[in-house]
Chain A
Amino acid sequence: GAVVSQHPSRVICKSGTSVKIECRSLDFQATTMFWYRQFPKQSLMLMATSNEGSKATYEQGVEKDKFLINHASLTLSTLTVTSAHPEDSSFYICSARDLAIANTGELFFGEGSRLTVL
């Protein structure tokens, strides 16, 4: 299957700082990437849909000014958690759809990024 890579896999930061997480599709192009957040022992909750070359679409209750998403190319989307606070500590996972098989529902997920805000 297609490979989606996230970086960093783990990050610890101080409260008030900003953290950037990268999501790359390694062997395919992705016009659309999705960012999910997962709290311990919880399911994945969609935060936003990232479209290459346009603004991201955010789910209800997700602050777009706090979670900045940039999808500048067909293989890279970034999520920046601005002015992070302890309640932002979570497991952030991106997923991407292969442009070549875009008519299917298959989404490939990254390895996830564990954010801990002190």
Chain B
Amino acid sequence: GQQLNQSPQSMFIQEGEDVSMNCTSSSIFNTWLWYKQEPGEGPVLLIALYKAGELTSNGRLTAQFGITRKDSFLNISASIPSDVGIYFCAGQRHSNSGYALNFGKGTSLLVTP
């Protein structure tokens, strides 16, 4: 499947700072999702976006579905140490194989107290 372009690859920030990461694709997706993965665990869904232009919040997390349906960003406000992990964007389009996800390469986030 097609991979998404996710940036930055890694971030090293201090507690309390805001974080922003984004994903772009050359193709249109019907759904964008953001997941967080901690070492040795499966990804956990953070936010799901279904409509172009949609802006959705989940606590300190905010994500937007780009108007062109080819991009999305995730913001984390007032970061805390437990935000550490790898964040993946995932795009979904309808296909013969169903609703399979295409993943970005991930953004590794480190937060220092």
Chain A residues with CB under 8 Å of chain B are 1, 4, 6, 32, 34, 42-46, 49, 51, 57, 59, 93, 95, 97, 104-112, 114
Q: For the complex formed, measure the closest distance between the CB of A65 and the CB atoms of chain B, giving whole angstroms.
A: 19
Given A51-B98, A104-B48, A105-B31, output 4 extra A-B contacts at Cβ < 8 Å.
A32-B98, A32-B99, A44-B43, A57-B96
B43 near A105 with CB under 8 A, answer no
Q: Give which listed residue, B40, B99, B105, contacts A107 with CB less than 8 A.
A: B99
| Cα(A84)–Cα(B39), bound, Å | 24
B1 in the interface, Cβ–Cβ < 8 Å? yes
B50 near A105 with CB under 8 A, answer yes
| Cα(A35)–Cα(B109), bound, Å | 26
Q: For the complex formed, measure the closest distance between the CB of B27 and the CB atoms of chain A, giving whole angstroms.
A: 15
Chain B residues with CB under 8 Å of chain A are 1, 3, 30-31, 33, 35, 40-45, 48, 50, 88, 92, 96-106
| Cα(A114)–Cα(B42), bound, Å | 11
A44 near B88 with CB under 8 A, answer yes
Q: Can you pick out 14 interface pairs between chain A and chain B where the beta carbons lie within 8 Å of each other?
A: A43-B104, A44-B88, A44-B101, A49-B98, A49-B100, A57-B96, A95-B42, A97-B98, A104-B31, A104-B50, A105-B50, A105-B101, A107-B99, A112-B40
| Cα(A46)–Cα(B99), bound, Å | 12
**How many residue-residue contacts, CB under 8 A, span A and B?**
68
Q: For the complex formed, measure the closest distance between the CB of B63 and the CB atoms of chain A, giving whole angstroms.
A: 13
Chain B CB within 10 A, most for which of A6, A51, A107, A110: A107
Chain B residues with CB under 8 A of A59: 1
